[in-house]
Amino acid sequence: MDSIDLEVLKAADAWIDAGQSCELITVIQTWGSSPRPVGATMAIRGDGRVVGSVSGGCIEDDLIDRMRREGVVRSVPELVTYGISAEEAHRFGLPCGGTIQLAVEPLTGKSRIRELLQRLARHELVQRELDLETGDVQLDDAEVTAALRVDCGVLTTVHGPRWRLLVIGAGQLSQFLARIATGLDYHVIVCDPREEYRDGWQVDGVEVVQTMPDDLVLELRPDSRTAVVALTHDPKLDDLALMEALKSDAFYVGAIGSRANNARRRERLKEFDLDDAQLVRLHGPIGLYIGSKTPAEIAISILAELTAVRNGVAVPKAMEVAVAKQAIEAPEASEMSETSVKQNNDPPSCTRKESMSWQL
């Protein structure tokens, strides 16, 4: 599964390779409310076919209509603005009179889309500099803090995974987690020294390594854009890696397991001289409570919590797995207690044999 922006670039590259005229459209600025964020992209082919999105569909409709009537008429990039007037805002479905500015770029071989894709395949973070007057393109390494900008007639966009996810354990759950995380633009690394788990495990675009997890954590030196998730249920593999991750700047560290297992894990981690401030960073039981049962549902639960932390969203305590399950069990325990009292107060109505059978 590719991220949306990667799908856009791949489609554009295929159209250029086939000799078909096409344009790359990028949201470069918004005012007021806007359906899509700055940096969102869309590729449009000469016959009106599109990949990606720059609005809720209304602006796309206008772009498609113009493309079908006129084709690709630009030879150099152009800045196009939608929604300046109240009439346009209503026509194009921009909420609250919002305004959106797009860079529309006709694509050719000199657009260097193929080269950009090759660098992204190597998990590089790349900035693409487009001269808005000539259409010339320059590719350079980007810093993780780089962002889209327009300066002195040059549009700079940033491409590639600015987030890393280290998954410890190559099980079935890891496959679902890796696929979805790749779509969220993570560079996913799966680590498992157990050959029987790695054999046959494969997700496109995901790096699989066989070293010991704690050694890999030390090698990666997790920063504030790195998440570490332990999924093996094996303390020999999980605990040392979690210890190193909790000492790092990783923005998220989590481990799968029941409430009881996570309590025992925290006790073990205390023996590694982790302090309370470090231990409180450990997410476990991992994920948000959504009633998940299957590996696919659990993967969604994990990535929901990870996304909230990444976006700085405070998750209500009631959504935490441990708190939610405790709340669910509390009424059940109370109901069982009331039933027990009632039964104890009722006169005997069964034989000893029946009573013993009920207790079993």
Q: Per-residue pLDDT tens for 131-178? A: 999 999 999 999 988 899 999 999 999 998 889 999 999 999 999 999
Asked if 240 and 273 count as a contact pair (C-beta separation under 8 A), the reply is no
Residue 350, pLDDT > 80, answer: no
Task: Indicate whether 199 belongs to any domain.
Answer: yes
Please indicate whether residue 140 or residue 34 has the higher confidence score (pLDDT).
Answer: 140
Sign of CA dihedral 231, 233, 237, 240: positive
Asked if 298 and 287 count as a contact pair (C-beta separation under 8 A), the reply is yes
Q: Which residues contact 228 (CB under 8 A, 6 or more apart)?
A: 165, 166, 168, 217, 222, 241, 242, 245, 248, 250, 252, 253, 254
CA-based diameter of the chain, in Å? 95
Q: Kindly provide the b/e burial profile for residues 161-195, where b requires at least 16 CB atoms within 10 angstroms of the residue's own CB.
A: bbbbbbbbbbbbbbbbbbbbbbbbbbbbbbbbbee
What proportion of the chain, given as a percentage, has pLDDT over 70? 86
Indicate if 117 and 198 belong to the same structural domain.
no
Task: Indicate whether 343 belongs to any domain.
Answer: no
Domain boundary among 159, 184, 208: 159
Residue 18 tokens read as: 């086939």
pTM: 0.72
In tens, the pLDDT along 177-230 reads: 999 999 888 999 999 999 998 888 888 889 999 999 999 999 999 998 899 999
Q: How far is residue 2's CA from residue 204's CA, in Å, rounded to a whole number?
A: 9
Strands 154-159 vs 149-151: parallel, antiparallel or unpaired = antiparallel
129 exposed, middle or buried (CB, 10 Å; 0-12, 13-18, 19+)? middle
Give 320's DSSP letter. Answer: B
Closest CA to 150 of 193, 116, 103, 206: 103
Indicate if 87 and 28 belong to the same structural domain.
yes
Domain boundary among 159, 182, 211: 159
Sign of CA dihedral 237, 240, 242, 245: negative
Give residue 109's identity as a one-letter amino acid code.
G
What proportion of the chain, given as a percentage, has pLDDT over 90? 61
Indicate if 42 and 61 belong to the same structural domain.
yes
Indicate if 130 and 190 belong to the same structural domain.
no
Sheet holding 252-255, edge to edge: 207-209, 186-191, 163-168, 226-230, 252-255, 282-283
Indicate if 208 and 222 belong to the same structural domain.
yes
Task: Indicate whether 48 belongs to any domain.
Answer: yes
Indicate if 219 and 147 belong to the same structural domain.
no
Stated as kind and residue range, the H or E segment containing 77 is none
- 89-103, 122-136, 147-161, 256-270: which has the minimum mean pLDDT? 89-103
97 exposed, middle or buried (CB, 10 Å; 0-12, 13-18, 19+)? middle
Residue 262, pLDDT > 80, answer: yes
Q: How far is residue 327's CA from residue 311's CA, in Å, rounded to a whole number?
A: 27
Please indicate whether residue 41 or residue 315 has the higher confidence score (pLDDT).
Answer: 41
Task: Indicate whether 354 belongs to any domain.
Answer: no
Residue 220 tokens read as: 């990666």
Split into its structural domains, the chain has a count of 2
202 exposed, middle or buried (CB, 10 Å; 0-12, 13-18, 19+)? exposed
Indicate if 149 and 176 belong to the same structural domain.
no
199 exposed, middle or buried (CB, 10 Å; 0-12, 13-18, 19+)? exposed
- 91-100, 244-253, 266-275, 313-322: which has the minimum mean pLDDT? 91-100
**Paired residues of 50 in beta bridges:** 44
- Does 285 sit behind a cis peptide bond, omega within 30 degrees of 0 on the bond before it? yes
Residue 116, pLDDT > 80, answer: yes
In tens, the pLDDT along 295-323 reads: 999 999 999 999 999 999 998 888 888 88
Indicate if 299 and 185 belong to the same structural domain.
yes
Q: Please, what is the end-to-end C-alpha distance for the chain in angstroms?
A: 50
Indicate if 151 and 276 belong to the same structural domain.
no
Closest CA to 71 of 98, 102, 101, 47: 47
Strands 41-45 vs 50-52: parallel, antiparallel or unpaired = antiparallel
Task: Indicate whether 296 belongs to any domain.
Answer: yes
Task: Indicate whether 27 belongs to any domain.
Answer: yes
Q: For residue 39, give its domain range.
A: 4-159
In tens, the pLDDT along 61-94 reads: 999 999 999 999 999 999 999 876 666 666 666 6
CATH code: domain of residue 178: 3.40.50.720
Indicate if 171 and 96 belong to the same structural domain.
no
Task: Indicate whether 154 belongs to any domain.
Answer: yes
Indicate if 264 and 219 belong to the same structural domain.
yes
Indicate if 120 and 167 belong to the same structural domain.
no
Q: Alpha helices, DSSP H only, in 48-140?
A: 58-70, 86-91, 113-121
Give residue 75's identity as a one-letter amino acid code.
S
Task: Indicate whether 100 belongs to any domain.
Answer: yes
Domain boundary among 106, 135, 159: 159
Helix 259-270 to helix 235-247 angle, to the nearest 10 degrees? 60
